[in-house]
C-alpha cells in the first residue's frame, strides 16, 4: 500500500467524441478531499474509474495501491471502498435493513454481522424506525442517508461520495454534511467528496481538486487556494472617516467603505501603509484582519483563468 490513497497518471476517458477526462494526473493523501467542478466536469466518471466500473482509454489509476483495471485488484479494492452513487439506485419493495444487510453480505460479512452492522449504520445516519419501511416511501433526505449507510456498512477506510447533498432541504443538507464531516475528521476515513456545491466541500474537506471539462484546473489545500486573495484586509477605525479616506487615496490604496469598516486592497503583504494612513489622518485603528476569499471566489477565479488559458 502506498502513502497516497489515490494515484492517477495521465488518465483519459472519452464517451464517443466527448472527452470526459483529459489526461489528468494527481495524487491524494489520506483525509477528506473535495472533488469540485461544474456539471459535466468529469467528477462521476472519475469516481467510476476509481471503482473499476469504467475502463480508461489510457493512463493508470491506483486506489489504496490496487489497480482497478485488473480483475483481482478490482474485487479486492471494492471491499475497501464505500461508494455512494448519485442516482437513486434503491431497490423497490426493500426495507432499509434488508437492503443494507444484503449489501453487507455481498461485501463479505457473515449473516449475523451483516444484520448487526446494518442496524448500527442505520442508527448512525439517523434512520430510526423507518428502517423497516420499504424504501420506496422514503423522502429524498432519507434515501441519501440510506445510500450513505450502505456505503459505510462494511466500515471501509475509503469513501467515494457522489453528490451526497443533492436534492436535500437545508436541514437535511446540514445533517448530511455533519455526517460527512464526522466521517472525515473524527472517524479518520479517507473520503472523496464529489460535489458542485462549494460550501459543502469547504465545510467537510481539507484538500480540494477542481475539475473543468475533464482537466484538473486547481489542486491543493483549501487554505492555500483561498490564500491567493489574502492581500485584502478589513479595517475598523475610530475617528474622521473622510480624512482617513483621503489619506488612503493619497497613498494609492483601493478601498471600499461600509460604515466604520473598510475593505482595503494592498499592493504587498505589509500592512504598515494602513497604519501610516491612520497616523496621517489622526484616526485610531480598532481592528485589522486579513480577508480570506471564499472557496467560491477561488473557484470562479480558477475556472476563469482556465478559460482564458484555453482561449
Partner 1 sequence: MKASTHTEVYRPFRGELTTRRMRFVPLLSSNLKTATKKRLPLVLLFAPLAIGTVIFSFTVYAGFAIQAGDPPSALGGGASIASIIGQALVSQRTQQLIQAREMIVNFHLATNMFSLLLMAWYGAGVLAEDRRLGAHLLYFARPLSRFDYLLAKFLVIATFGVLGAVVPGLVICTVATFASPEWSFLREEYDVIFSTIGFGLLWTVLVSSIVLCVSSLASRRSFALVGVFAVFMLTSATASIMAAMQRDSDFRALSPMLSAVRLATSIFELKARHASWNLTLAWSSVGAYILISWTLVWLRTRRMDVVQ
HEC profile of 268-281:
CCCCHHHHHHHHHH
Q: With binding defined as CB under 8 A, does residue 154 bind partner 1?
A: yes
Tell the burial category of 28 from Cβ atoms under 10 Å away from its Cβ (0-12, 13-18, 19+): buried
Rounded to whole angstroms, how far apart are CA atoms 7 and 29?
A: 9
Minimum distance of partner 1 from residue 158's CB (angstroms): 12
Q: With binding defined as CB under 8 A, does residue 102 bind partner 1?
A: yes
H or E element, residue 308: helix 295-310
Minimum distance of partner 1 from residue 147's CB (angstroms): 8
Q: With binding defined as CB under 8 A, does residue 93 bind partner 1?
A: yes
Rounded to whole angstroms, how far apart are CA atoms 149 and 152?
A: 5
Q: Which is nearer to partner 1, 182 or 249 (CB)?
A: 182
Q: With binding defined as CB under 8 A, does residue 107 bind partner 1?
A: yes
Q: With binding defined as CB under 8 A, does residue 75 bind partner 1?
A: yes
Structural contact between residues 143 and 96, judged by C-beta atoms closer than 8 angstroms: no
Q: With binding defined as CB under 8 A, does residue 266 bind partner 1?
A: no
Contacts of 181 (CB under 8 A, 6+ apart): 32, 203, 204
Q: Pick from 70, 132, 174, 256 the residue near partner 1 by CB under 8 A.
A: 174
Q: With binding defined as CB under 8 A, does residue 103 bind partner 1?
A: yes
Q: Which is nearer to partner 1, 150 or 302 (CB)?
A: 150
Cell readout for 66 is: 490496487
Q: Which is nearer to partner 1, 80 or 243 (CB)?
A: 80
Q: How far is CA 84 from CA 147, 237, 261, in A?
A: 6, 50, 45
Minimum distance of partner 1 from residue 126's CB (angstroms): 5
Look up residue 66 and give its DSSP letter: B
Q: How far apart are the first and last CA of the chain?
A: 41
Q: Which is nearer to partner 1, 158 or 222 (CB)?
A: 158
Looking from the CA of 98 toward its CB, the CA atoms found within 13 Å total 10
Minimum distance of partner 1 from residue 290's CB (angstroms): 29
Q: Pick from 18, 91, 254, 282 the residue near partner 1 by CB under 8 A.
A: 91
Looking from the CA of 54 toward its CB, the CA atoms found within 13 Å total 22
Q: With binding defined as CB under 8 A, does residue 113 bind partner 1?
A: yes
Rounded to whole angstroms, how far apart are CA atoms 137 and 173?
A: 19
Cell readout for 260 is: 466604520
Q: With binding defined as CB under 8 A, does residue 110 bind partner 1?
A: yes
Minimum distance of partner 1 from residue 69's CB (angstroms): 9
Q: Which is nearer to partner 1, 69 or 227 (CB)?
A: 69
Residue list 185-204, contact with partner 1 (CB under 8 A):
186-187
Q: Pick from 183, 193, 235, 281 the residue near partner 1 by CB under 8 A.
A: 183
**φ, ψ for residue 40 (rounded to 5)?**
85, 10
Q: With binding defined as CB under 8 A, does residue 94 bind partner 1?
A: yes
Binding site for partner 1 (CB under 8 A): 48, 51-55, 74-76, 78-79, 81, 83, 85, 87-94, 98, 102-103, 105-111, 113-114, 117, 120, 123-124, 126, 150, 152, 154-155, 174-175, 178-179, 181-183, 186-187
Amino acid at each position: 500500500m502506498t502513502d497516497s490513497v489515490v494515484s492517477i497518471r495521465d488518465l483519459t476517458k472519452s464517451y464517443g467524441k466527448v472527452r470526459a477526462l483529459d489526461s489528468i494526473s494527481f495524487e491524494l493523501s489520506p483525509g477528506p478531499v473535495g472533488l469540485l467542478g461544474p456539471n459535466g466536469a468529469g467528477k462521476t466518471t472519475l469516481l467510476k474509474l476509481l471503482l473499476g466500473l469504467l475502463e480508461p482509454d489510457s493512463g493508470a489509476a491506483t486506489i489504496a495501491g490496487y489497480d482497478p483495471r485488473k480483475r483481482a485488484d478490482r474485487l479486492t479494492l471494492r471491499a475497501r471502498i464505500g461508494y455512494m452513487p448519485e442516482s437513486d439506485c434503491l431497490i423497490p419493495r426493500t426495507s432499509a435493513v434488508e437492503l443494507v444487510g444484503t449489501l453487507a453480505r455481498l461485501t463479505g460479512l457473515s449473516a449475523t454481522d451483516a444484520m448487526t452492522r446494518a442496524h448500527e449504520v442505520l442508527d448512525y445516519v439517523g434512520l430510526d424506525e423507518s428502517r423497516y419501511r420499504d424504501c420506496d416511501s422514503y423522502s429524498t433526505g432519507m434515501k441519501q442517508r440510506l445510500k450513505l449507510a450502505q456505503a459505510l456498512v462494511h466500515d471501509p477506510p475509503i469513501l467515494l461520495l457522489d453528490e451526497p447533498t443533492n436534492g436535500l432541504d437545508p436541514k437535511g443538507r446540514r445533517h448530511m454534511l455533519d455526517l460527512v464531516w464526522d466521517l472525515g475528521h473524527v472517524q479518520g476515513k479517507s473520503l472523496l467528496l464529489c460535489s458542485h456545491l462549494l460550501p459543502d466541500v469547504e465545510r467537510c474537506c481539507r484538500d480540494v481538486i477542481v475539475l473543468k471539462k475533464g482537466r484538473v484546473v486547481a489542486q491543493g489545500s483549501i487554505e492555500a487556494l483561498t490564500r491567493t486573495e489574502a492581500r485584502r484586509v478589513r479595517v475598523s477605525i475610530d475617528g474622521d472617516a473622510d480624512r482617513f479616506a483621503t489619506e488612503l487615496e493619497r497613498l494609492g490604496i483601493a478601498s471600499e467603505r461600509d460604515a466604520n469598516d473598510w475593505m482595503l486592497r494592498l499592493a504587498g503583504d505589509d500592512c504598515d501603509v494602513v497604519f501610516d494612513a491612520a497616523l496621517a489622518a489622526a484616526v485610531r485603528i480598532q481592528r485589522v484582519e486579513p480577508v480570506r476569499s471564499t472557496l467560491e471566489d477561488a473557484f470562479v477565479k480558477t475556472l476563469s483563468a482556465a478559460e482564458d488559458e484555453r482561449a
